[in-house]
């Protein structure tokens, strides 16, 4: 299995494995002092199909990052089940089939861009596929910066490297936690379009966590709107817009109609 995955090229992702994500009745409570507890998530049911791009949209503190951390196997649900690719998240990460990029780029400052992108191979104990790394560096547009260190890169370039690192082992599932949260608005929009282009080539099952409505609508097949305290799913919006990576899309009336509606939903959420 892993050899099949590894040999798969950038443009032709691996096939044959089930790569959907399923959360059933997931709740998360954290114990406080003196027997009290706080409920972060309640009754989350969500299925993400193979090759689907789903965005979790919600105000900060609504528990959307907790959902992603549960899918990543970084936290256990208090009740309910989660399966990724037909197995537990931990099994998937042990098999090195999970890709992740966080808001903080978490590039190792003492490694070059290339060494950072190669890191997952080292962790998995696999031989480095240099041609693949090369392809990926070009794909995310970092050609010429392979030997630079993270501190010499701009915020946008760091996130490109971070995304390339998430993709390097051709993961079954890609998890993105506010990957552009630290960028300015202009860079953020440009990176959105880049990601749309990259994703159109790869079509990996992807879960994106964001509080940016435009970003969610621009990138996702479906947008899941969450409300906070405790975190619940309020609404799921299927997005069917043509030409995602096209510059004109953000100016189209259909796009704005959806964005306005979802924004309104977030605002009423906050008031509640």
Partner 1 sequence: MSSRLRTAVYGVAGVVVLLVIAQIIGTTGLLGPTWPPITEVAAFLFDPSNHRLLGNALAATVSEAALGGLIGIVAGIGFALIAALLPLLAPGLDRFAALIDAVPAIALAPFLILVFGREGTPVIIVALSVTFIIYISTSSGLDSAGRPYRDLFSVLGARRAVRLGRVDVPAALPKLFDGLTLAAPAMILGATIGEWFGARRGLGVLFVSAMQNYRIELLWSAAVLAVLCSLIVYGAALLAQRAVVRRFA
Partner 2 sequence: MTESITTERAVVDQAAEELLERPGPAATETPAARRRNPLQVVGRILAAIVVRYWPIIAMLIAWPVWLWANGYSRAVAPGPLDVATDLVQHPDVYLLPVLWTALFAIGGLLLGMLVGIVLGVLVWMSPLVSGLLLPSALILRVVPVTAMIPILAALFGYGSGTVVVMVVILVFFPAFSLTVSGMSSVSQSSRDLFAVLGSGLAARVFRLHLPAAIPSIMLALRISAPVGILGVLLAEYLLSGVGLGDLLRTAGERLEYEREWAAALVATVLSVICFGLARTAERRVVDRVT
Residue with tokens 């069917």: 240
Helix (H, G, I), strand (E, B) or coil at 221: coil
d(CA 11, CA 259): 31
- Per CB under 8 A, the list member of 21, 23, 40, 72 interacting with partner 1 is 72
- Per CB under 8 A, the list member of 3, 16, 34, 186 interacting with partner 2 is 34
Cβ closer to partner 2: 32 or 131? 32
d(CA 220, CA 208): 8
Backbone angles phi and psi of 71, in degrees to 5: -65, -35
Contacts with partner 1: how many residues (CB under 8 A)? Answer: 23
- Per CB under 8 A, the list member of 16, 35, 125, 238 interacting with partner 2 is 35
Backbone angles phi and psi of 63, in degrees to 5: 95, 10
Helix (H, G, I), strand (E, B) or coil at 86: coil
Among partner 2, partner 1, none, the one that 241 touches (CB under a kind-dependent 5 to 8 A) is none
Least distance in angstroms from the C-beta of 31 to partner 2? 6
Max CA separation in the chain (angstroms): 56
Cβ closer to partner 2: 78 or 115? 78
What DSSP character marks residue 267? Answer: H
Binding site for partner 2 (CB under 8 A): 31, 34-35
User: Residue numbers of the site for partner 1 (CB under 8 A)?
Assistant: 69, 72-74, 93-96, 98, 100, 102, 104-106, 108-110, 119-120, 122-124, 175
């Amino acid at each position: 299995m892993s050899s099949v995955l590894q040999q798969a090229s950038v443009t032709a992702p691996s096939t044959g494995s089930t790569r959907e994500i399923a959360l059933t009745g997931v709740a998360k409570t954290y114990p406080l002092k003196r027997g009290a507890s706080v409920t972060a998530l309640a009754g989350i049911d969500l299925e993400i199909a193979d090759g689907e791009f789903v965005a979790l949209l919600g105000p900060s503190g609504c528990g959307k990052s907790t959902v992603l951390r549960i899918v990543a196997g970084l936290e256990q649900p208090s009740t309910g089940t989660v399966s990724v690719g037909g197995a537990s998240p931990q099994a998937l990460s042990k098999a090195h089939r999970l890709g992740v990029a966080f808001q903080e780029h978490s590039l190792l400052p003492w490694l070059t861009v290339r060494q950072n992108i190669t890191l997952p191979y080292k962790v998995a104990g696999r031989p480095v596929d240099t041609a693949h790394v090369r392809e990926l560096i070009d794909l995310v547009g970092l050609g010429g910066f392979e030997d630079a260190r993270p501190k010499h890169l701009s915020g946008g370039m760091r996130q490109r490297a971070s995304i390339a690192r998430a993709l390097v082992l051709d993961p079954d599932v890609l998890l993105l936690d506010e990957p552009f949260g630290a960028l300015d608005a202009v860079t953020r929009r440009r990176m959105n379009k880049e990601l749309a282009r990259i994703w159109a080539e790869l079509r990996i099952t992807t879960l994106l966590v964001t509080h940016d409505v435009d970003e969610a609508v621009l990138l996702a097949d479906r947008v899941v709107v969450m409300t906070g305290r405790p975190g619940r799913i309020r609404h799921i919006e299927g997005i069917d817009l043509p030409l995602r990576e096209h510059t004109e899309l953000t100016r189209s009336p259909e796009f704005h109609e959806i964005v306005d509606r979802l924004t309104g939903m977030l605002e009423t959420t906050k008031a509640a």
